[in-house]
Every structure is written in structure tokens, then in C-alpha cells.
Amino acid sequence: MTESIVNSKPFQWTARFLARFGLSGKGLVIAVPTLWLLVFFLIPFIVVLKISFAEAMIARPPYSKLVQGTESGFALNFSFLSYQYLVEDGLYLAAYGSSLRIAFFSTIFALLVGYPMAYFIARSSGRWRNILLMLVIMPFWTSFLLRVYAWIGILKGNGYINNLLMSIGIINEPLVMMQTDFAVYIGIVYTYLPFMILPLYANLVKLDGSLLEASSDLGARPFTTFLTVTLPLSLPGMLAGCMLVFIPVVGEFVIPALLGGPDTNMIGRVLWDEFFRNRDWPTASAVAIIMLLVLVLPIMLLQKAQDGQNRSETL
């Protein structure tokens, strides 16, 4: 079929026309995403990088120019003030630390909750599998903000949990859950769970059932089979899921802002404050650049995990 398309006259005319401008079909296909990444990722990144080396000032835009025209030509005005500021003020380091900590533990919790769910979905029969997958994806149908607000209603002092526990008589005073790290963890794990479950499911569903039978046949109890066969073979899926949760959670802004208290000091919130409250764009940009550098390692891990997934598919 493809043969007949390639051999058709219009196809060959188009190809010849494009070739006149040095474009092959392959080049054209790659050009679209390349252009997209260039315009919407690389250029904004360079802009942010540029601002991070500027100085804050009351102006429009609120930062100094990097290249300034002088009488003898122009001068470069690089300032490392924002970066210096980040290192000197303990607030920023603490915020990075706490973001990484919260992201790390949320990832662990999401893995602990998500793995059994993904495993169960992958092992259930065809019809059930689709229903369960649908249930995992369904929260995306409503607004993320709305769902986080709903958690306020559940966790607050006179919310559902406290009302229930008090009506049964287990507690006399309402538990303080809102505006604590606990609420932030709940919100994050709840929100990011699908990102853990889906790559894990994609990995586990491909697991060759005959490997499990072979393990059992060679004398392994079901739990041993899980530890020696299922778990190691699902590592790429676990890694992918963990990184898909960890990377965005580090920069998460909305959940700590809505569910967290004043002590919840995450880098996303600091970033917001710098941009919109202090209008200190250079410092905010520096915060963003450093966050990117911090995330380079997990992003590389994610790449590796995806490579691993692809390799196991071709095997």
C-alpha cells in the first residue's frame, strides 16, 4: 500500500518540489517538532537565563539590560547578584531542600500505593482492565484545582474526616490536618498517582506470564517469584513512574499553596513570591535555572528508564 503512495504522481511531484528547497520528506517530519521545541522551549529558556543575569530595578520590564549601548559601542552587564543572593539567603536553600524532601517522600508513597494498583490492573481480565484503567484516568476529567479544593473540604477542621471521627466518638477535638505537610503529601500523592500507575501498568502488562510459570515450576513460591522476577523486570516502569512524579512535584506550586501551611516552604511557592510579590524577576529566574539544574539528574534517569522500556520491548 505504501508502495503505491510512493509511486503515485502527486507524491513524486511534491517530493521533487520540496527537494528544490533542500527538503526531504524525513527532514520535513523532523522539522515540525524541532521548530516547536525551538520556539516554545529553547527561546523562553534563553530569555529566563538572560534575565537571571540581570539586576532588578523599578522599570518596565523590571530588570536591567544585559547589553547596554555606550558612546564607544556597547558594554555587557552581567550580574551574578541573584545567584549570590540565592546562596547567601538560607531561605532559598531551605526551600530547595524541602522541595526535594517532599518530592522524594511523595514519590515513595505514590510508588507504594501505585504499584499494587498497577499490578492488580495488569493481572485482571480484559474487560475489568479497561474499567479500572478508566477509573485511574477519570480524575483528569475534572479540573485539577477543583479536586484540590475538594480535599480542603475533606481535611479541614469541620471537614468530612473530622466530622465522621467525632460522630463515632473516636476523637473529641478535630484533628489538625489542613495546612500541614500531611495535607500536602495527601494532595500530591492523590494528584500524581496516575502518573505512577500508568507507566507501571504499561510495564507490568507486558510481563510474560510464562516467566512467572517458569519461576513457579523451578520451585519458587509466589512471593519469591514476585521478588526475583516481577520486581526486577518492572524496574524500568518503576523508574519512569517515579521520575514522572518526582520531577513535577519538585516545582509544584498549587498544592502546597492551597493545602500547605506557612511552614510548607517549597520552591514553586518561592518562585511565585519572587515573581509576583517582590517583582524581582532576576532572582526568580535564577531560582528557576537552579531548579532546572537540580532536575537534570532525575531527567537523565527518566531517559534511561524509557530506553530500558524500549529495549525490553524489542527483546
Minimum distance between the CB of residue 210 and another protein, rounded to whole angstroms?
4
The residues, any chain, with a CB within 8 Å of residue 209's CB and separated by 6 or more, are none
Query: Which residues from 223-252 bind another protein, rule CB under 8 A?
Result: 224, 228-229, 232-233
Candidates 3, 71, 173, 217: give the one binding another protein (CB under 8 A). Answer: 217
Candidates 71, 210, 293, 297: give the one binding another protein (CB under 8 A). Answer: 210
User: Does residue 127 interact with another protein by CB under 8 A?
Assistant: no
Nearer to another protein, 14 or 224 (CB): 224
Nearer to another protein, 158 or 210 (CB): 210
- Return the C-alpha cell found at 255: 498544592
Give the total of residues touching another protein (CB under 8 A): 19
Candidates 215, 264, 265, 283: give the one binding another protein (CB under 8 A). Answer: 215
Stretch that binds another protein, among 65-73, 212-220, 247-255, 299-307 (CB under 8 A): 212-220
- Return the C-alpha cell found at 224: 519469591
Q: Is residue 117 a contact partner of residue 136, using CB atoms and an 8 Å limit? A: yes
Minimum distance between the CB of residue 219 and another protein, rounded to whole angstroms?
4
User: Does residue 130 interact with another protein by CB under 8 A?
Assistant: no
Nearer to another protein, 306 or 312 (CB): 312
Nearer to another protein, 87 or 231 (CB): 231
User: Does residue 126 interact with another protein by CB under 8 A?
Assistant: no
d(CA 75, CA 85): 24
Query: Which residues from 275-314 bind another protein, rule CB under 8 A?
Result: 312
Candidates 170, 218, 293, 296: give the one binding another protein (CB under 8 A). Answer: 218
User: Does residue 22 interact with another protein by CB under 8 A?
Assistant: no
Candidates 18, 152, 220, 257: give the one binding another protein (CB under 8 A). Answer: 220
User: Does residue 315 interact with another protein by CB under 8 A?
Assistant: yes
Residue entry with cell 489542613: 178
User: Does residue 157 interact with another protein by CB under 8 A?
Assistant: no
User: Does residue 200 interact with another protein by CB under 8 A?
Assistant: no
User: Does residue 24 interact with another protein by CB under 8 A?
Assistant: no
Residue entry with cell 531561605: 91
User: Does residue 205 interact with another protein by CB under 8 A?
Assistant: no
User: Does residue 125 interact with another protein by CB under 8 A?
Assistant: no
Stretch that binds another protein, among 45-53, 190-198, 221-229, 271-279 (CB under 8 A): 221-229
Q: Residue 287's closest CA among 66, 104, 37, 94? A: 94
The contact set with another protein (CB under 8 A) reads 208, 210-211, 213-221, 224, 228-229, 232-233, 312, 315
